[in-house]
Structure 1
Amino acid sequence: MLYLVRHGQTDWNKNGLVQGQTDISLNSTGVEQAQALAKRFQKENIDVIYASDLKRAYGTAEEIAKVKNMRVSEGLRELRERSFGELEGAEIPLLQEKFPNLGTDWKEDLPLNIESLGNMQKRMVKELTNIMTHHQGEDVLVVSHGAAINVFIHYVTSGENGTGKMVLANTAVSTFTFENKKWAIGTLNDASHWIKEAKSS
């Protein structure tokens, strides 16, 4: 089983700024979300934890690792968010105005050093396949980023879900199995741990 998780909230999420590969830490809400997520996994079997090497993903993974009395195995560059090049730090509405189809345009040649969806998908599929091949028969948790997870979902569902179809909540969990070199999808975009926590506070 692969548990694929989006990181907790950052101030740039809260303020509607394009993060991409800019290394922004979790804010106080993001830490609370990660702690609620960690409680969710307290009784689940997890054999190994990986994360993107960016602080918001690695920090989310560390909260889970604390509860599980584990360590994050590795922070991997290949699990990073899409690079938005020169547009990182811009307001999201401005980005959408300038490039209305950027989130669904699969062209390879994009301006301003923006990473293509295809290149991001290739690196995500390759890295997650490598991880699951290396950990055959184990339950693996990976913390990554919204657009990066969505292109993977797009790949597994042959475009029926993921990119252009779904916005992933902070700390949302999606599950997959990998058997006989084939991916299958389980649950998608489940953030019930945080909804419950928010309602009770």
Structure 2
Amino acid sequence: MLYLIRHGQTEWNKKKLIQGQRNIGLDEQGMKQAQQVARFLKNEGIEKLYSSDLTRAYDTAAAIATASGINNIETCERLRERSFGQLEGKPVASLRDLVPNYDTNWGSEALYDMEALEVIQERLLKRLTEIMEESKGRKVAVVSHGAIINTFIHYVTNGEHGTGKTALQNTSITTFIYEDQKWKLQTLNNHSHLI
């Protein structure tokens, strides 16, 4: 089983600024959320933990590691958020104005040096498949980012959920079963630990 977790809140999330691959840390609320998701996952029996190499994801993973008694977090650049190129640091609202189809532009050129949806989907799919192939029979947690997680959800559900359709909450947990080289969505955007 794979637990795919979005990082906790940052100041830029709160201000609705595009983070992309900028290395923004958790704010006070984000640190609290990281502790909440860590407590929620404590007794799930997670054996391996992976994280994007960006601070907001790593610090969320570190809280989970501490609560679950996991000694090692493997970081990976391929688990990073989508690069939003020249638009990083700008208001999210401007993204809709400049690139109205930024979250539905499958098969078309990404503007402003943004990574294309296919590119981020492929890098996440490949890395998650490698992780699960290496971890047969184990429960694995991966902490990553909203836009890239949504492309994976889009892939697994054939576009029913994910990119352009699902607003993932900070520290939400989406779970998948990986069996016989096939992915199956189990739970989507669970953030009950924040209520």
The alignment's TM-score, normalised by the length of structure 1, stands at 0.95
Q: How does 1:16-165 map to 2 (within 5 A)?
A: 16-165=16-165
Partner AA of 1:78 in structure 2: R
How much has 1:108 moved relative to structure 2? 4.3
Residue 166 (1) aligns with residue 131 (2): no
Q: How far did residue 73 of structure 1 move? A: 2.7
Contact 1:5 1:171 in 2 (8 A): yes
2:9 matched residue in structure 1 = 9
> How many angstroms apart in 2 are the aligned matches of 1:86 and 1:51?
25
Give me the CA root mean square deviation: 0.8
Equivalenced residues, count: 195
Alignment partner, residue 194 of structure 1: 194
Counterpart Cα distance in 1 of 2:111 and 2:71: 39
Distance apart, 1:155 and its partner CA: 0.4
Structure 1 portions without partners, runs of 5+: 196-201
Give the ranges of 4+ consecutive aligned residues of structure 1 lying more than 3 Å apart after TM superposition.
Answer: none
Q: Using the alignment, how far apart are the partners of 2:44 and 2:150 within structure 1?
A: 24
1:71 is displaced (CA, Å) by 2.8
Structure 2 residue matching 1:189: 3-state secondary structure:
strand
Deviation at 1:111, TM superposition (A): 2.3
Q: Give distance in 1, aligned partners of 2:150 and 2:166.
A: 7
CA displacement 1:42-69 (0-9 Å, x = unmatched): 1111010000000000100000101112
Cα deviation, residue 107, structure 1: 3.3
State the alpha-carbon separation in 2 of the partners of residues 194 and 82 from structure 1: 25
- Report the TM-score, using the length of structure 2 for normalisation: 0.98
For residues 112 and 97 of structure 1, the distance between their equivalents in structure 2, rounded to whole angstroms, comes to: 13
Give the letter aligned to residue 146 of structure 2.
G
Aligned equivalent of 1:199: none
1:185 matches 2:169: no
Aligned-partner Cα distance in 1 for 2:73–2:62: 10
Contact map agreement 2:61 2:73 (CA 8 A) in 1: no
Structure-2 separation of matches of 1:98 and 1:108? 15
